[in-house]
Amino acid sequence: MTILHSIDELKNQFDTDVLNGKPDKDAFEEIKRKYTSRKGKIAELFAQLGSADPDIRPEAGKALNELKEYITIKLDGLSAVVSDNTEVTAADQLDLTLSGDPFPVGSIHPLTKVIEEITTIFTKLGFSLAYGPEIDTDFYNFEALNILKHHPARDMQDTFYVTDDVVLRTHTSNNQIHMMENHDPPIKVIAPGRVYRNEDVSVRSYCLFHQIEGLYVDKNVSMADLKGVLNYFAREFFGKNVKTRFRPSYFPFTEPSAEMDVSCYFCSQNGCNICKYTGWLEILGCGMVDPEVFKSVGYDPDIWSGYAFGMGIERMAMQRYGIEDIRMFYEGDIRFLRQF
């Protein structure tokens, strides 16, 4: 038997030893000792190399070195598996079903969620975010919006007064006037905010709520543009299969004015309590900016045109999450808040 045979045999023997399943730690140490220790099989063969036939010595030397490297690499790889096994054993002794340290889950208010969802949709369309004061003068909340004193349109919104001339804004539409006063056209903003109405608190109404106002002023803006943007919004917010309906309405600061309804997504227009069996949900008011509004901020209505829209957040959040009592939004009930 030549040394070359012995090298081959040793390799086979090693493979058999190693391939025999995953060795446990002791078995691994045993194998390691058997082959790589100073008195191990490899060393044994190296010792024999000197007495080998000189003709095959170079070949045998090369083969033996290769085997040594082969075994070292194999054992190295194996050592990782062996140590893994040891850790698994250690873990078995720790009950990891014991509860971890508590890091309570917080939550973002449902109204914030709806506001953020809506503003994200509009900012994609190039709308900037703007804000205006909650307490404002009669001029900004009413007069400049063509809601004249002693007009029945004032009855549309029950108003809280600070003085005869200072009110809690009844809508975010005051932002339209602030924006146009402070910026030259073109303007493209949405303005979320808190508004107040002097209405009795009940399941369906509260003394305050939140709105998002939209305003776009540029040259040659048309009602078709308004419909395009709001239909896009509706598809993004309510789903791509939503249907919309625009119907004439009245707001003193838009002309023409419209109300946008979306198809009831609870009953697919088969009729339900939420849409009061009409198949439609009233979502927002909108229209083309009235020339009187442009005049009150010094824009020339023959040059500029635009559209505006406004929507109530609470109603949308109530529909979206199935909240039946509007007061839940403002109680701060942790059991309510943590669900969002």
* Of residues 241-280, those binding another protein (CB under 8 A): 245-250, 255-258, 278
Which neighbouring-strand residues pair with 261? Answer: 245, 282
Which residue shows structure tokens 């500029």?
304
Shortest Å distance, C-beta 211 to another protein: 14
- CB nearer another protein, residue 7 or residue 195: 195
Stretch that binds another protein, among 49-57, 70-78, 223-231, 263-271 (CB under 8 A): 223-231
Shortest Å distance, C-beta 19 to another protein: 45
Site size toward another protein (CB under 8 A) is 88
Selected binder of another protein within 21, 50, 54, 106 (CB under 8 A): 106
- CB nearer another protein, residue 23 or residue 132: 132
Q: Work out whether the CA dihedral 13, 18, 23, 26 comes out positive or negative.
A: positive
Spell out, one character per residue from 279 to 298, where the chain touches another protein: x when CB under 8 A holds, - when not: ---------x-xx-------
Burial label for 320, CB within 10 Å (0-12, 13-18, 19+), is: middle
- CB nearer another protein, residue 75 or residue 207: 207
CA-based nearest residue to 181, from 137, 211, 127, 223: 137
- CB nearer another protein, residue 246 or residue 321: 246
325 interacts with another protein by CB under 8 A: no
Shortest Å distance, C-beta 30 to another protein: 41
Stretch that binds another protein, among 5-13, 62-70, 80-88, 228-236 (CB under 8 A): 228-236
Q: Taking a C-beta distance cutoff of 8 angstroms, is the pair 238, 266 a contact?
A: no
66 interacts with another protein by CB under 8 A: no
Residues numbered 132-191 forming contacts with another protein, rule: CB under 8 A: 133-137, 150-153, 155-156, 160-164, 166, 168, 183-184, 186-189
- CB nearer another protein, residue 17 or residue 225: 225
213 interacts with another protein by CB under 8 A: no
12 to each of 8, 34, 45, 235, 243, how far by Cα in Å? 6, 14, 15, 69, 74
Shortest Å distance, C-beta 62 to another protein: 44
202 interacts with another protein by CB under 8 A: no
CA distance linking residue 10 with residue 64, whole number of Å? 10
Residues numbered 14-33 forming contacts with another protein, rule: CB under 8 A: none
Shortest Å distance, C-beta 75 to another protein: 35
Q: What is the DSSP string of 4-37?
A: HHHHHHHHHHHHHHHHSS---HHHHHHHHHHHHS
What 3-state class would DSSP assign to 190? strand
- CB count within 10 Å of CB 302 equals 8
Which neighbouring-strand residues pair with 192? Answer: 212
Q: Taking a C-beta distance cutoff of 8 angstroms, is the pair 277, 271 a contact?
A: yes
304 to each of 75, 122, 141, 165, 230, how far by Cα in Å? 81, 21, 22, 30, 20
- CB nearer another protein, residue 14 or residue 233: 233
- CB nearer another protein, residue 6 or residue 159: 159
- CB count within 10 Å of CB 117 equals 14
